[in-house]
Amino acid sequence: MNRYFPILGWGRSYTRNQMISDLVAAAIVTIMLVPQSLAYAMLAGLPAEVGLYASMLPLVGYAIFGTSRTLAVGPVAVVSLMTAAALSKLGLSASDYAAAAISLAALSGFILLALGIFRLGFLANFLSHPVIAGFITASGILIAAGQLKNILGIKASGENLIELAKSLGPNLSATNFITLAIGVSATAFLFWVRKGLRPLLSKLGMAPRYAELLAKTGPIFALAATAFVAWFFDLGSHGVKLVGAVPQGLPRVSLPIFSMSLVQNLALPALLISIVGFVESVSVGQTLAAKRRQRIEPDQELIGLGVSNLAASITGGFPVTGGFARSVVNFDAGAETPAAGAFTAIGLAAATVFLTPLLAYLPQATLAATIIVAVLSLVDLSILKRTWNYATSDFAAVAATILLTWGAGVEAGIVAGVVLSILIHLYNSSRPHIAIVGRVAGTEHFRNVKRHNVETHDTLMSMRVDESLYFANARYLEDEISAELANKPDVKNVILVCNAVNDVDFSALESLESINNRLKDAGVKFNLSEVKGPVMDKLQRSGFLPHLTGKVFLSHHIGVEALTSQS
């Protein structure tokens, strides 16, 4: 029960001091989440209040089933963009669009739950970090570009940069300059809050921790100021787009509605949203947990996120995951347990009941500014330079992900990223590093002959393979041994150093048998050294060892000594 309900673990020892810390953190995070939730709902193409709905019950669900003490679950920029990309192409009415968003959250919840129950969290590891970084960077720029229409007060649409540019260009002449002034001012203020407010507060004598937390809540000041200005000067009558009337009160609890056609259209987007959301959430959770020497369970995190998305679906929300910014604020504010999330949910519920009438005069340009400032902090184009310097294959994957996201949209970008990650892994593992090794003079150590000045023997070839052997690379090993022997006519013994081989599948076993037979026909004995226990168990069960023309040596040094003394 503790495994599937982590609340039973920390809940039994919950103290008054922890509750006070969680309440303080919840108050700060609530202030931050109000503008974020509204902005991300708009980014997803949904009414502003839906962002608040998607930020309440998911926090409670995660508090019960999640393993991170400080992760804050709710709408995030990339998942909101993916939601909009998935739903905008369906051509739905406003009410059907909102219903489809609910169904998308439910599908994502079921997928995450299934992955968690069957302990398949390792599948997310196939999405490499460089590809994720490239996708988030590309998405951040795409999101920021998509919000320019709200900053300018014009109409535009498009799922990629090309479509957005074509749509924005002809409408620039219709720019509403009051909206532009509000958007630019709000954006500049929010950038200043991120960089300049904390140093200013520190100079004024405020403790660094509280200065940092106050700077994180800067968007609430931008919302209040611009809403007041819009109300006082009646800017709505001057063409400034406002949020408008927001329903007051808590969301109704209802079950999502599914149809076969809707499920078919949303199955792939739901899977992609689940994978991206899980990777982002686990990355944040593990980073914060490590700072307090805590740990999270990735498979249980899948269950926690699955329940959170189901909770969002029954309260009229859309897909959610663990957010970086709000989780860091929650951590810095001193949250001790997931109860801080539950308290935040209560704060958001109170805001939904009492504060929503004040949102009617909020300019959409302010929410756009909030989104732009938030997502641009995720942009890291240096990943291109770093991967180029490190490995061209990683650079190719990152560059392709970024370009496809910009040119074809987020779904094409993330699918390309997943496929490229898997293909690069398969390519690299299918061509493992194989080295001819020799002894470092005066030692029992063996190193690559191309990198070190080592001792070798004309009648003995020592070859080390730095990868487990399986169907994709077994033939490559055969070819490498044949190629090396073609240039060494005096070799009488080959030793395959297996200290890096953790597994041998059946295809690789057949390749070892083939190598053994070919070497036998050539008058060369095939030997193995430093074979690990699990691999040795497989070789013994297979009947390979009795037919081995050479021997299996406990260490490579022993093998070299034995075989060179015979010659």
What does the pLDDT read at residue 567?
A: 58
More confident residue, 3 or 497: 497
Give pLDDT, residue 47.
93
pLDDT tops 90 at residue 202? no
By CB atoms closer than 10 A (0-12, 13-18, 19+), residue 282 is: buried
Edge to edge, the sheet with strand 446-448 lists 446-448, 434-439, 460-465, 493-497, 525-529, 552-553
> By C-alpha distance, which of 21, 26, 28, 79 is closest to 56?
26
Higher pLDDT among residues 106 and 296, named by residue: 106
CA-only gyration radius of the chain, Å: 30
Q: List, in sequence order, the alpha helices (H) in 66-196.
A: 77-88, 94-117, 129-146, 148-152, 161-168, 177-192
- The one-character DSSP state at 356 is G
Look at residue 521 in the predicted model and tell me its pLDDT: 94
Decide: helix, strand or coil at residue 41. Answer: helix
Query: What span, in angstroms and rounded, lies between the C-alpha atoms of 480 and 463?
Result: 10
> 451 φ, ψ to 5°?
-115, -20
- Residue 468 contacts by C-beta under 8 Å, 6 or more apart in sequence? 500, 501, 502, 503, 504
Under the banding of pLDDT at 50, 70 and 90, the label for residue 178 is very high
Tokens for 95, please give them: 């009410």
| pLDDT for res 332 | 83
| Cα–Cα distance for residue pair 505/515, rounded to 1 Å | 15
Mean pLDDT of 303-323: 96
Percent of the chain with pLDDT over 90: 68
How many Cβ atoms are within 10 Å of 7's Cβ, its own excluded?
17
Query: For 239, left (φ over 0), alpha (ψ -120 to 50), or beta?
Result: left
Asked if residue 545 has pLDDT above 80, the reply is yes
pLDDT at 392 over 90: no
Q: Give residue-wise pLDDT tens across range 74-112.
A: 999 999 999 999 999 898 999 999 999 999 999 999 999
* CA gap 355, 359 in Å, rounded: 7
Q: Are 407 and 431 in contact (CB under 8 A)?
A: no
* Residue 489 structure tokens: 């006519």
**pLDDT greater than 90 at residue 194:** no
Measured CA to CA in angstroms, residue 492 lies from 437, 465, 523 at distances of 16, 20, 7
**Does 199 score more than 90 pLDDT?**
no
Residue 226 has pLDDT above 70, yes or no: yes
Instruction: Give the domains, in start order, of the chain with CATH numbers.
Output: 15-424 (no CATH), 434-566 (3.30.750.24)
pLDDT at 110: 97
Q: Which one, of 82, 64, 447, lies nearest residue 278 by Cα?
A: 82
Taking CA atoms, 458 is separated from 32, 109, 424, 452, 567, in Å, by 71, 63, 37, 17, 10
Measured distance between the N- and C-terminal CA atoms of the chain, rounded to whole angstroms:
65
Task: Output 36 or 3, whichever has higher pLDDT.
Answer: 36
Q: Specify the pairing of strand 321-322 against strand 73-74.
A: antiparallel
pLDDT tens figures, 413-433: 888 888 887 888 888 889 999
How high is the pLDDT of residue 195? 83
Evaluate if residue 182 carries a pLDDT over 80.
yes
- 487 φ, ψ to 5°? -100, 5
Q: What single-letter DSSP state applies at residue 197?
A: I
537 vs 565, more confident: 537
> What is the structure's pLDDT at 293?
83
Q: Give yes or no for residue 190 having a pLDDT over 70.
A: yes
Output the average pLDDT for the chain. 91
What is residue 294's predicted lDDT score, i.e. its pLDDT?
A: 85
Does residue 233 surpass a pLDDT of 90? Answer: yes
* pLDDT of 215 above 80: no
Q: What is the mean pLDDT of residues 477-481?
A: 94
Q: Which helix (DSSP H) or strand (DSSP E) does residue 434 occupy? A: strand 434-439
**Minimum mean pLDDT range among 52-61, 160-169, 208-217:** 208-217
For residue 446, the 8-state DSSP code is E
Beta-bridge partner residues of 463: 436, 496
Report CA-CA distances (Å) from 417 to 128, 298, 464.
Answer: 8, 21, 32
Q: What are the residues whose beta carbons fall under 8 Å from the beta carbon of 287, sequence distance 6 or more?
A: none
| Burial (CB count within 10 angstroms: exposed 0-12, middle 13-18, buried 19+), residue 339 | buried
pLDDT cut 70: percent of the chain above it: 100
Q: How many CA atoms lie within 13 A of 144 on its CB side?
A: 15
Work out the average pLDDT over 286-310.
Answer: 91
The predicted pLDDT at position 122 comes to 80
What tokens appear for 543 in the block?
């009947």
CA dihedral 322→324→326→329, nearest 10 degrees, is 130
What is the per-residue pLDDT for 99?
95
